């Protein structure tokens, strides 16, 4: 009799514990949903004794890095670069998210050195600072984070999230594709070849999604156009994921993310951001791109393309996105390009003058009246000058040689 009572009490206690755990979990989710900022400490992701004077703002800043690594490229290259550099500034109080993209060719000071280079090369510098046996990848990531923080004038990066090309493709396929309004045909061969993604509103699978966000064809806006499409595609992806249909794909999405994304966010923070996203109006996500002037510069005897960021534009975007004013950066010195000189015994190659653009209709010169040819002079047969073939679009900018003289993969 007593034994039966003890068993009943034990079973009752177990049920009470399960119920208590369920209630605590439910309350935790409610608290996270209504107060998501409570699970974020606000500390920068890279701690250093030299970097204690961080500016404080109202946003939680996540650095999104898209590396140009894929299984195919691994057969040819050892070192890869973050070609997509985007900061997601999450303002919990204002219930909004802003995206700020830093173009990969931006000419910036590399953190921990006196060297100026492309911002996507900052990973290479940090990678090569580490010696054999140290975590060289982590060294590269930390240098990217600190270089971005320096570019932002001391605004901290609180977390980072990294994905490569194959991983992004798998994630898009895991949610069943993403619906995107494609404004213009995306073609191969820098916009001159076959159609890869046709214009119009359509659901893109992972392969088409990557073609949409990676093309740098001139007719699609070049590098700036690509960055704009990346922001648009990212918003569409999260909007799909947090939709009722997207929730059904959460298990496959989790598996894809778990195996393809590297992040400093913990599980509770990811849950908090997800719950925050359910209440977010994705149509109101603001996107910004730091802009400047493209220049060629002599780098070890080669002309390399850099983007010199406009300082007024930089200050304005930082204030809009992070609600903070930062100090003005000094204008970096950038050597001019080198002009190759022809050999003394060689004639310079003949370059025909460019064909003038057509004048506006009101400024077109009136045609002269036909004149009778002079019988005394026999006109020479006219020959059209041979024009050079259509120039290929500007190739992907050349990269500076890595510190350890190992080749850096080209896109």
pLDDT tens profile 124-163: 999 999 887 899 999 999 999 999 999 999 999 999 999 9
Contact (Cβ atoms closer than 8 angstroms) between residue 119 and residue 151: yes
DSSP β-bridge partners for residue 288: 100
The rounded distance, in Å, linking the Cα atoms of 276 and 281 is 10
| Confidence at residue 411, expressed as pLDDT on a 0 to 100 scale | 45
Among 82-91, 151-160, 190-199, 378-387, name the one with the lowest average pLDDT.
378-387
Give me the mean pLDDT over the 233-253 stretch. Answer: 80
- Of 2.60.40, 3.40.630, 3.60.21, 3.40.50, which CATH number belongs to 176-248? 3.40.630
Statement: residue 25 has pLDDT above 70: no
Task: Report residue 27 as tokens.
Answer: 């309350």
DSSP assignment of 246-312 equals HHHTHHHHHHHHHHH-EES--HHHHHHHHHHHHT--GGG-EEEE--EEEEEEEETTEEEEEEEE-HH
Give me the mean pLDDT over the 211-220 stretch. Answer: 88
The pLDDT-based confidence of 352 (bands split at 50, 70, 90) is: very low
The reported pTM is 0.74
76-112 per-position pLDDT tens digit? 887 889 999 999 999 988 889 999 999 999 999 999 8
| Confidence at residue 37, expressed as pLDDT on a 0 to 100 scale | 62
| Confidence at residue 337, expressed as pLDDT on a 0 to 100 scale | 92
CATH number of 16-49+56-164+261-348: 3.30.420.590
Q: How far, in Å, are 151, 228, 293 from residue 109 at the CA level? A: 8, 24, 17
| Confidence at residue 53, expressed as pLDDT on a 0 to 100 scale | 53
pLDDT: which is higher, 188 or 295: 295
Domain ranges of the chain: 16-49+56-164+261-348, 176-248
Which one, of 110, 170, 164, lies nearest residue 139 by Cα? 110
Statement: residue 326 has pLDDT above 70: yes
The rounded distance, in Å, linking the Cα atoms of 215 and 187 is 8
Contact (Cβ atoms closer than 8 angstroms) between residue 337 and residue 304: no
Contact (Cβ atoms closer than 8 angstroms) between residue 148 and residue 64: no
The sign of the CA dihedral 197, 198, 199, 203 is negative
| Confidence at residue 99, expressed as pLDDT on a 0 to 100 scale | 96
The pLDDT-based confidence of 348 (bands split at 50, 70, 90) is: very low
């Amino acid at each position: 009799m007593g034994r039966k009572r003890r068993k009943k009490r034990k079973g009752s206690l177990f049920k009470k514990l399960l119920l208590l755990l369920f209630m605590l979990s439910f309350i935790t989710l409610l608290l996270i949903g209504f107060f998501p900022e409570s699970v974020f400490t606000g500390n920068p992701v890279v701690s250093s004794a030299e970097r204690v004077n961080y500016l404080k703002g109202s946003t939680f800043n996540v650095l999104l890095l898209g590396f140009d690594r894929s299984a195919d490229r691994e057969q040819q290259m050892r070192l890869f670069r973050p070609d997509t550099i985007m900061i997601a500034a999450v303002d919990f109080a204002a219930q909004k998210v802003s995206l700020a993209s830093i173009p990969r060719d931006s000419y910036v000071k590399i953190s921990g050195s006196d060297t100026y280079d492309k911002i996507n090369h900052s990973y290479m510098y940090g990678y090569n600072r580490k010696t054999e046996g140290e975590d060289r990848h982590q060294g590269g990531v930390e240098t990217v984070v600190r270089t971005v923080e320096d570019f932002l004038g001391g605004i901290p990066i609180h977390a980072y999230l990294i994905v490569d090309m194959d991983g992004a493709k798998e994630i898009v396929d895991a949610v069943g594709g993403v619906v995107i309004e494609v404004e213009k045909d995306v073609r191969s061969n820098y916009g001159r070849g076959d159609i890869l993604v046709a214009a119009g509103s359509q659901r893109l699978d992972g392969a088409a999604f990557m073609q949409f966000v990676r093309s740098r064809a001139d007719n699609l806006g070049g590098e700036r156009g690509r960055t704009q499409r990346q922001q648009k595609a990212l918003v569409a992806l999260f909007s799909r994921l947090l939709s009722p249909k997207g929730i059904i794909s959460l298990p496959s999405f989790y598996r894809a993310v778990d195996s393809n994304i590297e992040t400093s966010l913990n599980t509770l923070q990811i849950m908090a951001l997800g719950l925050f996203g359910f209440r977010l109006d994705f149509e109101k996500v603001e996107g910004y791109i730091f802009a400047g002037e493209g220049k060629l510069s002599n780098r070890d005897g080669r002309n390399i393309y850099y983007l010199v960021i406009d300082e007024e534009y930089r200050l304005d975007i930082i204030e809009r996105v992070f609600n903070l004013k930062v100090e003005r950066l000094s204008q970096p010195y950038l050597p001019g390009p080198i002009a190759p000189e022809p050999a003394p015994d060689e004639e310079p190659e003949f370059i025909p003058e460019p064909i003038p653009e057509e004048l506006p209709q009101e400024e077109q010169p009136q045609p002269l009246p036909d004149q009778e040819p002079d019988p005394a002079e026999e006109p020479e047969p006219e020959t059209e000058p041979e024009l050079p073939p259509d120039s290929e679009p500007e190739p992907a900018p050349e990269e500076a040689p890595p510190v350890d003289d190992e080749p850096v993969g080209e896109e």
